Amino acid sequence: MELLPDHDIECFWLAFKQSMTNFYALKSLPPRDIEAWSASLNELQAAAKYEKIEKQIYNYITLYGLDLLRSGSRYHLSILISNIRRWDKIAASHKILQSEHEDNIVTILLDIAANFIKSGQEFDGIFNDIELYMIHEDYTRLIAYAIKHNKSVILDQLIKYNYLAVGTALDEVIGNDFMEFLVSKISGKKLLEKINAT
């Protein structure tokens, strides 16, 4: 008999909820309605709607991640990145939790932040105006940072997500048209080589 994922979900959610509560208690950002999130998850759990639970948790991770990126808190971002890995393992270990979650700009930015944290680099206010990335698809600041610091991983993430917006940002930053290279989904490393050769 296959075990239901209830216990794993509950253990994850309680720890994740506590980390969010701790963050909002320390920061001046308006807190999310975590209790409403919990109530929604409890209703879904009572109905055994595990795929919807998985989707909701990824949605909550994204909303919380947005607040963390804006705050620039390396400590809490590190905890969130660990929690994302924990949730991915739980989702993978239960066959009922198999729905694919699509990357969105917040998950891309969280991956970029994770790379910064891993390498020990400062963010340099790169996420201060996060709405530019989310609403206007203006990645100029990220592209400029990637070129200045030779961070091909940032370019790889953004090219994969939205190569057209990367082309527009490159035109703003260095004034050359690299769209032909981006259309072929060139790697960030090769793109940096071409930029440095111009």
pLDDT, tens only, 82-128: 999 999 888 888 766 655 566 789 999 999 999 888 888 887 788 98
- Residue at 180: amino acid letter: E
Entry pTM: 0.86
CA distance 158 to 143: 9
CA-wise closest residue to 97 among 3, 197, 194, 15: 3
Q: Are 61 and 37 in contact (CB under 8 A)?
A: no
Chain position carrying tokens 């990645």: 139
CA distance 188 to 198: 16
